[in-house]
Structure 1
Amino acid sequence: MRRSVLAGPVLDVAPKLLGTVLRSTSDEGAVAVRLTEVEAYDGPNDPGSHAYRGQTPRNAVMFGPPGFLYVYFTYGMHFCMNVVVGPENKPSAVLLRAGEIIEGVELARIRRGQPAPQKSVLNQVRPGPVNKRPAADPDRDLARGPARLCVALGIGREGNGADLLAKDSPIRLLDGPGYDGVPSTGPRVGLREAADRAWRFWIPNDPTVSPYRPHVPKKRS
């Protein structure tokens, strides 16, 4: 992945990240995902962006050069991560929402507390009407959603500011197989502001894409 590609407008860059690979290496081993779903956030032009009201210690990475990782903590329990894009001092970012594990699936299962899939007698091929439809692959959920994606890759607060294009970085963004089809688009997930903008991009019919959930206002008691 070239930094010049990531320096383009966020709505151009976001769909280009589909099919690229994010690989994280630690003492535990390496896990890599093929990205299948992303969301674009356009800084000061976007009320849904963390950079909408200017620079803070939390979002400072977004104001730097493209190709760096912006990690934030949300809801008091989850980490989410973004690729910083666009020119320096133009704080745009692409939220990484979901991906398919293509390396290190065993380590990803451990991190997500998910056992290896077991073969069921019901899922074996049998003649006649007693044959059952195979169960859904549980591995599809390992990185299905932005918080799960961070957990599967072992990325937390310490990943904030990582240079994704540096060869010696423990977290790297690689070209991967890419995606040359037409991505699906729709509204971003769970936003209170600018929720109607169709700035979420995903690979159509990919089972690892996360379900859409609109923002639900909290009711005051």
Structure 2
Amino acid sequence: MRPLPRKFYSDDTVDVAKNLLGKILVRQIGEKTFSGIIIETEAYRFNDDPASHAFRGMTERNKAMFGEVGRAYVYFTYGMYYCVNAVARNDNYDAGAVLIRAIKPVQGLDHMIKNRKNKKIEELTNGPAKLTQALKITKKQYGVDLTKKSELFISDTQNDCKVYSSHRIGIRNGLDKKWNFKINL
């Protein structure tokens, strides 16, 4: 598996969100490999996106969104869950990231089931917090370089699937932007 190059993430955040669909999210823990096909993403930009963590400027929590593209932005939400993003933007924006909302498990299924304490495959990684639990992604992966084979990266594959777009989930602002993207596998 070859990680996506940094230039892949140097495009408009919305385009990167679409182009990540069908790619493989890979998590390495020692000798164990967990992976899944990315089937749902959401784009979050900067000052044109009131739903973005970066909308009001840089903070300790969101500084990865302003940093080098191709890095992981992991945040803690609702006092109990982690969510993982890929930092992505072009030169028109100071910040941007793509939330990985769902994956279709490919490798390490037994461990994902154990990590989630759930045997229903269709519910194993069908949400951003569920996939981070299944893959054991925490704040420790904040800032990890996704363009290198390491504990967390995104692998290149062919992407010939029909992309569906809709409103982003769980937000109050920026509802006019249909930046939630999905594929059916």
SS of the aligned residue for 1:43 comes to: coil
**Distance (Å, rounded) in 2 between the aligned partners of 1:147 and 1:11:** 21
Q: Flag structure 1 segments of 5+ consecutive residues without an equivalent.
A: 116-137, 207-221
Amino acid across the alignment from 1:37 = E
Answer 1 or 2: higher relative contact order, Cα 8 Å, separation at least 6.
2
Aligned residue in 1 for 2:178? 198
Aligned residue in 2 for 1:45? 48
- Percent of aligned pairs with the same residue? 37
Deviation of the 1:87 alpha carbon: 3.9
Q: Go from structure 1 to structure 2 and tell me whether the alpha carbon gap of 1:22 and 1:28 turns closer, same or farther (over 3 Å shift).
A: same
- Asked if 1:4 is matched to 2:7, the reply is yes
**Distance (Å, rounded) in 2 between the aligned partners of 1:72 and 1:65:** 17
SS of the aligned residue for 2:47 comes to: helix
Q: Does the aligned pair in 1 maintain the 2:22–2:161 contact within 8 Å?
A: no
Deviation of the 1:147 alpha carbon: 0.2
Q: Go from structure 1 to structure 2 and tell me whether the alpha carbon gap of 1:155 and 1:37 turns closer, same or farther (over 3 Å shift).
A: same
Q: Go from structure 1 to structure 2 and tell me whether the alpha carbon gap of 1:152 and 1:44 turns closer, same or farther (over 3 Å shift).
A: same
**Distance (Å, rounded) in 2 between the aligned partners of 1:94 and 1:41:** 6
- Asked if 1:163 is matched to 2:167, the reply is no
Aligned residue in 1 for 2:68? 65
Q: Flag structure 2 segments of 5+ consecutive residues without an equivalent.
A: none
How big is each residue's C-alpha offset from its partner over 1:131-177, in whole Å with a ceiling of 9 and x where there is no partner? xxxxxxx212111000001011110110111001113x21011013x
SS of the aligned residue for 1:109 comes to: helix
Which structure has the larger Rg over C-alpha atoms?
Answer: 1
TM-score by length of 2: 0.93
Aligned residue in 1 for 2:94? 90
Deviation of the 1:2 alpha carbon: 1.6
How big is each residue's C-alpha offset from its partner over 1:92-135, in whole Å with a ceiling of 9 and x where there is no partner? 110000011100000000000024xxxxxxxxxxxxxxxxxxxx
**CA RMSD, Structure 1 to Structure 2 (Å):** 1.4
Deviation of the 1:28 alpha carbon: 6.9
TM-score by length of 1: 0.78
Q: Does the aligned pair in 1 maintain the 2:85–2:98 contact within 8 Å?
A: yes
Q: Go from structure 1 to structure 2 and tell me whether the alpha carbon gap of 1:81 and 1:49 turns closer, same or farther (over 3 Å shift).
A: same
